[in-house]
Amino acid sequence: MSQALLAGLARTTRPQSAVRRFLALDAVVTGANGIAYLAASGPLGELLGVDAGLLLELGLFLTAFAAGVAWLASRPQPPALAVKLVVDANVIWAVLSVVALVAWLEPTTAGLLWTPAQAATVAGFAGLQWAALRAAAR
């Protein structure tokens, strides 16, 4: 990813600020998703065709993960290793979402649309975070 594109997306020319902004955006989106799964696992489970218990567990995980990512984003200079772990977790989430869709989930049409959309969003966060981290290391 070019420096200019990365700076435009992050709305800053400072790579360290870009890392923090992409982490913060990830935390907000992931936290909102986790809270939604916690608060409405039953109705969302019916809408998506996913077991409500699974959504509740995912909601707990996502909310805790988002809190950790938010804390990392609040650091003046997030440690590179911690950012790499967030990137790795996001890649694993995106891959497992697609695998689950193909291997064992039996989603509704909404679930069939939602699952790859959220996987692509999470993969996008991973890509942006990785590019910003690389730029910050230079």
The pLDDT value recorded for residue 138 is: 78
pLDDT digits (tens, 9 = 90+) for 117-132: 999 999 999 999 999 9
**Average pLDDT score over residue span 21-48:** 97
The pLDDT value recorded for residue 9 is: 54
- Amino acid of residue 48: L
The pLDDT value recorded for residue 16 is: 79
The pLDDT value recorded for residue 49 is: 96
The pLDDT value recorded for residue 11 is: 53
The pLDDT value recorded for residue 136 is: 86
pLDDT digits (tens, 9 = 90+) for 41-81: 999 999 999 999 999 999 999 999 999 999 999 999 999 99
Looking at the predicted structure, is the pLDDT value of residue 14 above 80? Answer: no
